[in-house]
Amino acid sequence: MTTEIGKNIDEAKAHLLNGDVVAIPTETVYGLAGNALNEEAVIKIFEAKNRPHFNPLIIHLPFWNDVKKYVTYIPEHAHTLAMHFSPGPITYLLPKKATIPDIITAGSKKVAVRIPAHPVTLQLLRAIDFPLAAPSANQFGYVSPTSPEHVYNSLKGRIPFILDGGSSNIGVESTIVDFEGDDIIIRRNGGISKEEIEAVLGFPVSSATEASEHPVAPGQLKSHYATNTPLYMVEASSLTGHNHDNTITIGFGIQHADATFNLSPEGDLHEAAKHLFELLRIADAQNAEAIYVSEVPNTGIGVAINDRLQRAQHQMK
């Protein structure tokens, strides 16, 4: 199969209508999209990524008002969050209707729903009459893609088309929020911080983002976002001690001016998130013995960055 990169939305639409899968840009990372209501198309997503079927997918829609077509109930707190953050990097876990295939949710009674903010993908979603299931557009377990070139390097020959929307401007996946009665639970840290959610709702929310071999939401597996080169997350104060000829170090802020790469020399967490996956890919291409990455301040979007680094760490056998 030949894989083409292009900006023609009609071409992407034609592939989707034909039951094929295509890569699409979002503000978080690139997604590998197929018709969420077509089980054969969804299977193609799993096959192209080598993704296990027990790992659920997110469905993407163009408008918040469309969500009610695919879920049985929308809590008032979900409406409140959507009015502030959607379209944007936030996903809602909601009770699904039978029209959503069980393969999307890995058998769960809830489906993950998101309204992406990328203008190209919103235009595509508005041109079709079905939601798109779309995990990250890369081989399962590897670093998520934030450019069409990343997708091509990972999935060339496996998918027919990559819709080019430039580089993703957030760089980490969406925050996933669950609703259990009156309780709001963050299942995955991402582009919207816990503090931002609490500020809108006016009360504390809880987090349940622990790794699981049977995840209830995408991005909960213990090992994920991993480089081929062994990667280790270290305390900021100890990064300099790992500077050697055969290692790569990735720092954050002025304190790590001597690191091989720096997520943000100015110490900006949003800049760090945007560059995280790109720098991990660059570091992985250096043929080093190991990659050492400094933790970042564990606040705001820094929580999502540290989460990705923890899951990317080398798993000792």
Whether 136 has a pLDDT exceeding 50, the answer reads yes
Q: What is the mean pLDDT of residues 307-317?
A: 79
Average pLDDT value for residue range 130-152: 95
Say if residue 38 is in the same domain as residue 79.
yes
User: Is the same domain home to 250 and 186?
Assistant: no
Is residue 217 domain-resident?
Answer: no
What are the two backbone dihedrals, phi and then psi, of residue 234, each rounded to the nearest 5 degrees?
A: -130, 160
297 falls within a domain: yes
The answer to whether residues 257 and 117 belong to one domain is no
Domain check: are 267 and 200 in the same one? no
What integer is the mean pLDDT of 59-70?
A: 98
Residue 138 sits in the same domain as residue 264: no
Handedness of CA 47, 135, 233, 278 (dihedral sign): positive
Which two tokens mark 47?
A: 């096959």
What DSSP string runs through 153-185? HHHTTT-SEEE-----SS-SPPEEEEEETTEEE
State the Cα angle at 305 between 231 and 151, rounded to 5°.
Answer: 70
Q: Clarify whether residues 286 and 202 are in a common domain.
A: no
Residues 170 and 274 in one domain: no
pLDDT at 213: 53
**Which residue range(s) make up the domain with 81?**
4-207
In this predicted structure, which of 25-34, 95-104, 111-120, 202-211 has the lowest mean pLDDT? 202-211
pLDDT of residue 51: 79
Given 157, 172, 207, the domain boundary residue is: 207
Q: What is the pLDDT of residue 220?
A: 56
Domain assignment of residue 109, yes or no: yes
Q: Looking at the structure, do residues 65 and 155 belong to the same domain, yes or no?
A: yes
Measured between alpha carbons, how far is 253 from 265 in angstroms, rounded to an integer? 4
Q: At how many degrees (to 10) do helices 269-284 and 148-155 cross?
A: 30
68-108 confidence digits (pLDDT tens) = 999 999 999 999 999 999 999 999 999 999 999 999 998 89
Residues 274 and 194 reside in one and the same domain: no
Same-domain pairing of 260 and 168: no
Reported as a pLDDT band with limits 50, 70 and 90, residue 52 is: confident
Rounded-to-integer distance, Cα 234 and Cα 146, Å = 24
In the β-sheet with 183-188, what is the strand arrangement from edge to edge?
A: 4-6, 161-163, 22-24, 31-35, 132-133, 58-60, 110-114, 90-95, 175-180, 183-188, 206-207
Q: What is the pLDDT of residue 316?
A: 47
Average pLDDT for 271-288: 96
Please report, for the domain that includes residue 83, its CATH number.
3.90.870.10
Beta bridge partners of 184: 179
Mean pLDDT within 271-282: 97
Structure tokens at 91: 């996903």
Quick check: is 138 in a domain? Answer: yes
Task: Examine residue 219 and state whether it is found in any structural domain, yes or no.
Answer: no
Residue 53 has what pLDDT?
72
Q: Is residue 213 part of a domain?
A: no
- Per-residue tokens: 229: 């080169």
Structural contact between residues 118 and 28, judged by C-beta atoms closer than 8 angstroms: no
Predicted confidence at residue 113, as pLDDT, reads 98
Give the CATH number of the domain where residue 287 resides: 3.40.50.11030
Helix axes 194-201, 76-85, angle to 10 degrees: 120
Omega before residue 87 within 30° of 0, cis? yes
Number of domains in the chain: 2
Do 269 and 147 belong together in one domain? no
How many distinct helices (H) and strands (E) make up the chain?
Answer: 9, 15
Residue 275 host element (H or E)? helix 269-284
Choice among 165-174, 178-187, 210-219, 225-234 with the minimum mean pLDDT:
210-219
Note whether 104 and 184 are same-domain residues: yes
Q: Is residue 295 part of a domain?
A: yes
Is the residue at 222 inside a domain?
no
Summary mean pLDDT of the chain? 94
Distance of CA 44 to the CA centre of its chain: 19
pLDDT tens column, 102-135:
999 988 999 999 999 999 999 999 999 999 999 9
